[in-house]
Amino acid sequence: MKNILVVVAHGDDMEFMCAGTIYRWVHEFEYSVYELILTDNRRGTYRLKDSEIVVLSKQEAIDAGNVLGLKEVRFANFVDGELEDIPRKHIRNIIIDMIREVKANIVLSWDPFAHGEDHPDHRVTALATYEATSFCSNPNFGTPGLYLPHFVSEAYWFAKKPENAYTFVDITETVEKKIEALLKHETQMDLTFDSLVLEAKTLGINLSGLESAEKEMRNQLIADAIRKYTAEKGKELGYKHAEQFRYEKLGMLEMVLGQEIIKPDFPPSIQAD
Ligand SMILES: [Zn+2]
């Protein structure tokens, strides 16, 4: 049995990047999965007031977590879009404390070393999580005396433009659960949709009817986009749908003992060059 912690900046990050894999871990492997969302998602739409969106988006994240079977969805409540302004050690300590509390064996987050990440919140989340996975075993880090030091053995890093990411997880059976969870994020899906409409308008393309698209049509459009995206990921290995990760084993014990101790649930599917 393993415990898993997913650390993300925004409510819908996990669903976009790894929810098909999470569903498999929960239901096939019966692992306990926890999610830590660092921001309050207030920039996820411009159709609502901040005070409304922060409340609604929390419930959406909890509903999405229920679709996937998460043990807990926790919120750090930093202002969306402004993680850069928070001292990173403060964010890192929050992550370290939660890793220790839930005794996470596996951590997932944005890849700190993938280029092409445009969102500052994702970059801060990636780096703080990367540091936390290493330093949670060091009693000199984290909130002193709160929890015992703990060792994280494995990390799965995801990215918009993955690099050195050789682990492809077959999510053919779970892609619809991924989409169902993603679409729980009503407030955040508005922005995804509005951006698409604005892009079309700017390029002079007439998406007749789309602007006034009903929720159902909007959701259909997003669901189709996800299916295409995961199908593209699966192509190389012949999976109908896949999610892609850069997998990393942490620690030195395997090297010291000269034997494989940590067995990845989803071993790298492609050999590194
Ligand atoms: Zn995000």
| Span 68-90, average pLDDT | 97
pLDDT category at 191 given cuts 50, 70, 90 is confident
| Span 246-261, average pLDDT | 93
Q: For position 14, what pLDDT does the model report?
A: 98
Is 268 part of any domain?
A: no
Q: Which residue from 35, 46, 30 is spatially nearest to 12, judged by alpha carbons?
A: 35
Contact 68, 29 (CB under 8 A): no
Contact 72, 64 (CB under 8 A): no
pTM over 0.85: yes
CB count within 10 Å of CB 38 equals: 26
Calculate how far, in angstroms, residue 37's C-alpha sits from the geometric centre of ligand 1.
Answer: 10
Calculate how far, in angstroms, residue 187's C-alpha sits from the geometric centre of ligand 1.
Answer: 13
Query: What is the tens place of the pLDDT at every residue in 10-64?
Result: 999 999 999 999 999 999 999 999 999 999 999 877 778 888 889 999 999 999 9
The span from the CA of 154 to the CA of 4, in Å, is 10
- Looking at residue 79, the DSSP 8-state letter turns out to be P
Of 163-172, 212-221, 259-268, give the lowest mean pLDDT range: 212-221
Angle (CA) 106-75-132 rounded to 5° is 40
The span from the CA of 56 to the CA of 50, in Å, is 10
Is 146 part of any domain?
A: yes
Is 269 part of any domain?
A: no
Residue 156 vs residue 195, higher pLDDT: 156
Calculate how far, in angstroms, residue 16's C-alpha sits from the geometric centre of ligand 1.
Answer: 9
**How many domains, in total, are found in the chain?**
1
Q: For position 267, what pLDDT does the model report?
A: 83
Q: For position 101, what pLDDT does the model report?
A: 98
Q: What percent of the chain has pLDDT over 90?
A: 79
Is 271 part of any domain?
A: no
Q: For position 217, what pLDDT does the model report?
A: 85
Q: For position 189, what pLDDT does the model report?
A: 86
- Looking at residue 77, the DSSP 8-state letter turns out to be E
Mean pLDDT of the chain: 94
Does residue 273 carry a pLDDT above 70?
Answer: no
Q: For position 272, what pLDDT does the model report?
A: 65
Query: What is the tens place of the pLDDT at every residue in 46-61?
Result: 778 888 889 999 999 9
Is 266 part of any domain?
A: no
Calculate how far, in angstroms, residue 10's C-alpha sits from the geometric centre of ligand 1.
Answer: 5
Query: What is the tens place of the pLDDT at every residue in 143-186?
Result: 999 999 999 999 999 999 999 999 999 999 999 999 999 999 98
Calculate how far, in angstroms, residue 31's C-alpha sits from the geometric centre of ligand 1.
Answer: 25
Q: In Å, how far are 73, 188, 224 from 58, measured between CA atoms?
A: 9, 11, 25
Does residue 136 carry a pLDDT above 80?
Answer: yes
Is 216 part of any domain?
A: yes
End-to-end CA distance of the chain: 32
Of 69-78, 112-121, 128-137, 260-269, give the lowest mean pLDDT range: 260-269
Q: Which residue from 186, 265, 187, 182 is spatially nearest to 225, judged by alpha carbons?
A: 182
Domain of residue 99: give its range.
3-257
Structure token digits, residue 175: 């892609």
Q: Which residue from 250, 246, 263, 4 is spatially nearest to 135, judged by alpha carbons?
A: 250
Judged by DSSP in three states, 49 sits in coil
Is 70 part of any domain?
A: yes
CA torsion 36-6-39-92 (nearest 10°) is: 80
Calculate how far, in angstroms, residue 212's C-alpha sits from the geometric centre of ligand 1.
Answer: 25
Residue 54 vs residue 211, higher pLDDT: 54
Calculate how far, in angstroms, residue 9's C-alpha sits from the geometric centre of ligand 1.
Answer: 5
Is 235 part of any domain?
A: yes
For the domain that residue 172 is a member of, what is the CATH number?
3.40.50.10320
The span from the CA of 39 to the CA of 53, in Å, is 12
Calculate how far, in angstroms, residue 92's C-alpha sits from the geometric centre of ligand 1.
Answer: 18
pLDDT category at 193 given cuts 50, 70, 90 is confident
Q: H helices of the chain, where?
A: 13-27, 50-68, 88-102, 120-135, 175-182, 186-202, 215-234, 253-257
Does residue 2 carry a pLDDT above 70?
Answer: yes
| Span 116-127, average pLDDT | 96
Calculate how far, in angstroms, residue 80's C-alpha sits from the geometric centre of ligand 1.
Answer: 9
Calculate how far, in angstroms, residue 119's C-alpha sits from the geometric centre of ligand 1.
Answer: 7
Residue that the structure tokens 């936390």 belong to: 132
Contact 73, 62 (CB under 8 A): yes
Query: What is the tens place of the pLDDT at every residue in 222-235?
Result: 999 999 999 999 99
pLDDT category at 100 given cuts 50, 70, 90 is very high
Q: Which residue from 51, 54, 48, 47 is spatially nearest to 11, judged by alpha carbons?
A: 54
Ligand 1 is an ion; its neighbours by CB within 5 Å are: 9-10, 13
Structure token digits, residue 257: 């003992």
Q: Which residue from 101, 25, 61, 33 is spatially nearest to 264, judged by alpha carbons?
A: 25
**What is the CA 4 to chain-centroid distance, rounded?**
12
Q: For position 49, what pLDDT does the model report?
A: 87
Calculate how far, in angstroms, residue 125's C-alpha sits from the geometric centre of ligand 1.
Answer: 10
